[in-house]
Amino acid sequence: MKKIFVAGHNGMVGRAIVKKLVKIQNVQVLTVEKDELNLLDQEKVKHFLSEHKPEEVYLAAAKVGGIQANNDYPTEFLYENLMIQNNVMFSAFESKIKKLLFLGSSCIYPKFSKQPIRESELLSGYLEPTNEPYAIAKIAGLKLCESLNRQYGESLGIDYRAVMPTNLYGEGDDYGNPDAAHVIPSLINKIYLSKIKNKDSVELWGTGTPKREFLFSDDLASACIFLMGISKEQFRKSVGYPSCHVNVGFGQDIEISELAKMICKVIGYNGEVKFDAKKPDGTPKKLLDSSVINALGSKPKVSLEDGLKIAYTSFLNEFANGKT
């Protein structure tokens, strides 16, 4: 039976990966709670992986947040993500674990990348300032994967891969702080609060004109498991070795203002949507070119409209009770 460790299993992405892995025959999914294993503690991570020796690792653990959180806490976003990545990845290598999947982010690409963004756009320009520390951490993780492959891929059989997903949403998203959350959970939270408080309007950050691409978390989980199942030779040929990262997107973007209207419809809020143009917009447009993974045979299945309905139901079940 294959033992697979999912780091960050309580997060939205890790949760979706675990949900799919447990349905696969002859797979034992290994998880551990944060109070038992702090991934910032190098020695404990090394001991855990050395003791349990999983055959594969999915590195979905990270410190994440929206534009305000990235703006307010750049130190934590840089330091904690570097520590988590380095501890898990290098400890896996030292424990002779040959297969690992690192989850990055589309924010690794320059602010003004050619659209849609191909994997080759990496390091071709300046990053978006508001999330630069987080992006640098993710680039470092990707490059550690790449370096381990280059140095030990042949001699030790190391096969570490990385996925760069677009903006994500889904069940179990973080709705705790609407100002610090990612786009969709932040909008759901703010619009829902305006509805239950009978407010005539809701105010959102920015101008509403930036365009974003959104992928449902279950579709990303399917893509991750699919990529881990591809042979080393086929993966290298498709991504262009020594590169090891693959974009995973939905294939279509939408203006934030239009997204807000869709969420208002799902929630049943009829008030006015206002935008505070004094707040930052972030990157004006960020659409991934997902042709590599699509050509390999993996494509998303959940539409944005259907995904928003699922996400809103999850929000009501898990988070909304304490707000009413």
- Is it the case that residue 209 has pLDDT exceeding 70? yes
Q: Which pLDDT value is given to residue 109?
A: 96
Q: Which among 201, 162, 203, 166 has a CA at the least distance from the CA of 186?
A: 203
Q: Does residue 241 carry a catalytic annotation?
A: no
Give residue for tokens 């991750």.
224
- Predicted structure pTM score: 0.94
Cβ–Cβ under 8 Å, residues 39 and 103 = no
| Helix ranges, 268-301 (H) | 291-296
pLDDT digits (tens, 9 = 90+) for 79-99: 999 999 999 999 999 999 999
Q: Which pLDDT value is given to residue 321?
A: 62
pLDDT digits (tens, 9 = 90+) for 177-196: 665 568 899 999 999 999 99
Token duo for residue 273: 């949507």
Answer with the residue of higher pLDDT: 228 or 175: 228
Of 58, 109, 134, 269, which residue is the catalytic one?
A: 134
Domains and CATH numbers, the chain: 2-173+213-251+286-301 (3.40.50.720)
Percentage of residues in the chain having pLDDT higher than 70: 97
pLDDT digits (tens, 9 = 90+) for 57-87: 999 999 988 777 888 899 999 999 999 999 9
Token duo for residue 107: 């924010």
Q: Which pLDDT value is given to residue 178?
A: 64
Q: What average pLDDT score do residues 246-250 get?
A: 98
Distance CA 319, CA 188 (A): 11
* Alpha carbon separation from 35 to 41, 45, 103, 146 (Å, rounded): 11, 13, 22, 31
- Is it the case that residue 207 has pLDDT exceeding 90? yes
Q: Which pLDDT value is given to residue 68?
A: 78
The half-sphere exposure of 103 on its side-chain side, counting CA atoms within 13 A, is: 27
Q: Which among 190, 164, 177 has a CA at the least distance from the CA of 263?
A: 190
Q: Which pLDDT value is given to residue 324?
A: 43
Burial class (CB in 10 A: 0-12, 13-18, 19+), 113: buried
Percentage of residues in the chain having pLDDT higher than 90: 86
Give residue for tokens 């990053």.
127
pLDDT band for position 247 (cuts 50, 70, 90) = very high
pLDDT digits (tens, 9 = 90+) for 262-273: 999 999 999 999
φ/ψ of 216, rounded to 5, equals -70, 140
Q: Which pLDDT value is given to residue 148?
A: 98
Q: Which pLDDT value is given to residue 177?
A: 66
- Is it the case that residue 22 has pLDDT exceeding 50? yes
List all residues 6 or more positions away from 270 whose beta carbon is below 8 Å from its beta carbon: 264
Token duo for residue 184: 């969709």
Q: Which pLDDT value is given to residue 168?
A: 94
Q: Which pLDDT value is given to residue 182?
A: 80
| Helix ranges, the chain (H) | 12-21, 42-52, 67-72, 74-94, 132-152, 183-196, 217-228, 232-239, 256-267, 291-296, 304-318
pLDDT band for position 231 (cuts 50, 70, 90) = very high
- Is it the case that residue 279 has pLDDT exceeding 80? yes
List all residues 6 or more positions away from 236 whose beta carbon is below 8 Å from its beta carbon: none
pLDDT digits (tens, 9 = 90+) for 289-317: 999 999 999 999 999 999 999 999 999 99
- Is it the case that residue 287 has pLDDT exceeding 80? yes
